[in-house]
């Protein structure tokens, strides 16, 4: 798909189980809508861990168990990121992946966004069968500095074990193993229902279903183009 621009600012949240392809859809969307910015809460946390910051040390104890880090910490991290990267201005278009995860986080974020009149205007849930998700996780590798994701089966790096762009090493996420993954999935299912209800009440929730990222992507693009009138 060629690049496209948006007629009005898009402030999008992607919801979806771990491994549902939020990161993959994000990088594909950024190619179509190059003016859009994106951030994934998990990527910010993994960078903190890599940099051995105090937040990183704390976050890693939660992440390796598959538990969520406390709302207060994650909202602070993400809201500072939004402010520092000028996302709180009415003209910017952006996408959030992995945050908010709880209704409480959603309320704190909304409070901040509405004070700048930049509320979320689209929330899309990626609905992918669980069997597909489990298969993906086993084969997933990540380039931590960029958040780029590879899959040994569907999207292997050009050089085994190396990031395509920087040549730096790829790593396996410590929370991408069977036991921890099961816990993450269970947590996701428990928390997403109230979160979906919260956004459904604000009339911004949509769902896109499919077994592969190639099926989901055009549906997601159509949704955006229809509602945000790409020219």
Contact call for residue 38 and ligand ATP (CB under 6 A):
no
Task: State the DSSP H helix or E strand holding residue 32, giving kind and residue range, or none if neither.
Answer: helix 22-32
Contact 9, 231 (CB under 8 A): no
Q: Is 99 annotated as a binding residue?
A: yes
Contact call for residue 106 and ligand ATP (CB under 6 A):
no
User: Applying CB under 6 A, which part among 14-22, 80-88, 203-211, 221-229 lies near ligand ATP?
Assistant: 14-22
| Separation CA 161–CA 141 (nearest Å) | 8
Contact call for residue 21 and Mg ion (CB under 5 A):
no
- Residue number closest to ligand ATP, CB atom: 42
| Separation CA 75–CA 41 (nearest Å) | 10
Task: State the DSSP H helix or E strand holding residue 14, giving kind and residue range, or none if neither.
Answer: strand 11-16
Q: List 94's β-bridge partners, or say none.
A: 11, 37
List 23, 66, 100, 157, residue binding Mg ion (CB under 5 A): 23
User: Applying CB under 5 A, which part among 41-49, 150-158, 180-188, 203-211 lies near Mg ion?
Assistant: 41-49
Contact call for residue 18 and ligand ATP (CB under 6 A):
yes
Instruction: Estimate to the nearest angstrom the gap between the alpha carbon of 58 and the chain centroid.
Output: 21
Residue 150 has phi, psi (to 5 degrees) of: -125, 155
User: Applying CB under 5 A, which part among 42-50, 107-115, 171-179, 199-207 lies near Mg ion?
Assistant: 42-50
**Interacting residues toward ligand ATP by CB under 6 A:** 18-19, 22-23, 41-42, 45, 62-63, 66-69, 74, 98-101, 105, 175, 184
């Amino acid at each position: 798909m060629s690049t496209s621009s948006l007629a009005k600012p898009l402030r999008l949240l992607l919801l979806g189980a771990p491994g549902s392809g939020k990161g993959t859809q994000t990088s594909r969307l950024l190619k179509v809508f190059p003016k859009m910015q994106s951030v994934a809460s998990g990527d910010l946390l993994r960078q903190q861990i890599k940099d051995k910051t105090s937040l990183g040390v704390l976050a890693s104890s939660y992440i390796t168990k598959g538990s969520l880090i406390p709302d207060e910490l994650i909202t602070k991290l993400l809201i500072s990121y939004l402010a520092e990267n000028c996302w709180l201005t009415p003209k910017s278009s952006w996408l959030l992946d992995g945050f908010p995860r709880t209704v409480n986080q959603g309320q704190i974020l909304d409070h901040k966004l509405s004070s700048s009149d930049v509320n979320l205007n689209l929330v899309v849930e990626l609905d992918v069968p669980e069997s597909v998700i489990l298969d993906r996780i086993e084969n997933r590798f990540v380039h931590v500095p960029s958040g780029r994701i590879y899959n040994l089966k569907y999207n292997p790096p050009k050089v085994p074990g190396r990031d395509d762009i920087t040549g730096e090493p790829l790593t396996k996420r410590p929370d991408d193993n069977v036991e921890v993954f099961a816990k993450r999935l269970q947590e996701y299912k428990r928390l997403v229902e109230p979160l979906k209800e919260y956004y459904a009440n604000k009339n911004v929730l949509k769902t896109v279903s499919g077994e592969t990222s190639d099926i989901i992507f055009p549906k997601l693009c159509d949704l955006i183009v229809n509602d945000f009138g790409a020219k």
